[in-house]
Structure 1
Amino acid sequence: MNAGENGSGRRVGYARVSTKDQRLSLQLDALNQAGCTPIFEDHGVSGAKGSRPGLDAMLDDVKAGDMVVVYKLDRLGRSVLHLSDLLVRFQEDGIHFMSLSEGINTATPGGKLVFHLFSAFAEFQRDIILENTLCGLEAAKKRGTRLGRRPILSPQAVVEAHRLIAAGERRNDIADMLGVSRITLDRAIRRMGLDHAA
């Protein structure tokens, strides 16, 4: 049975607008019409924000068999990598996803392809970021640029930490596992340009 389709789970809606002047009514009407309950909202919160109260509450609430429903893809993720990571997390947790405007429904056979595409894209993006970082360090060394103190965390460790964060692991737990402070971990993620995608 499909989540949200045949009674095996709830349809959980999420709506967001970036500024206080914008209205949620269009999204809320569409989500209500799609049978979503509950619906979580972020009003006047930029997609680039690291923490969104409505999104965080929704992620804490959904469980296996549920379906997350949004009006448009860009309402959910603050970057393509962040969106990819969320969809991969949904897949791993047994949660389906629907975007009304784009006609995506991962509870259908065709929609399952979306999970695989976004999973591959997330992996590809991290590989590119890691490769660019390593190439940049190598080029700086060849130019004789002093890079300062050697970072505590290797680029590979930072990319893996970012993947774990995207999968729902707590940053404090990851920092403990790596033997660094939360501040050191956050600084390393920022240095590699992964902060807007975490």
Structure 2
Amino acid sequence: MKAVGYCRISKEDESSVSLDYQKAEIKKLCKREGLRLISLEVDNGISGKSIKNRPAVQRVLNLVDTRQVDAVIVYRSDRLSRDGLESLQTETLFIEKGIRYISATEGCLNSEDLDAELMRYLRAGLNSRERRIISLRTRAALQRKRERGERIGGRPKYGWKVSNGKLVKDAQEQRVILQIKILREREFSVRAIRDVLCDMGTLTRIGTPFSQSQIVRILQG
């Protein structure tokens, strides 16, 4: 029997086992069960909320849909999805296609007996609950960072910079923002403001003239 393995680790899930460990356990299971592992798909640093935007899951589902494999192997069921409804829909698809769905830690996940069906619903609910807990923890951690003035990630918006790990006002950019707002209060159009900045030689942080859309964002911010 041919099998495809699937591994995932997300940035926010600190409790996730490493990808290398997941791969090793999947390979052990395939050897033990006499399965030929034809592909091992990996989503690295991607949330388990939905399978729609995960390239590796989509490749797995394509192999299932085209009947190129007989089994899907994961380290743990929440690696495939933490969305309860999506988990049930995917497991139902595997059953309809005659695909064995096996976890290295939980055993066969899609047996058709009544007890197994009950376990599918319980497992989907628990995985969904865990996703919600992770989401709440992440939001709380971000809020604490905001309260401490720490950088959360991404590029600071215009007028701000990172200093010693904290967001602080950039004096030069703040002067430009003030100038833009004063011109707007004097009923200058966005295009006219752009022209004034250009005539004064005022440039963006990457050394290019301001566009009208950039000026609009500054006024809205």
- State TM-score, norm by structure 1: 0.48
Task: Provide TM-score, normalisation by structure 2.
Answer: 0.43
Higher percent of residues as strand: 2
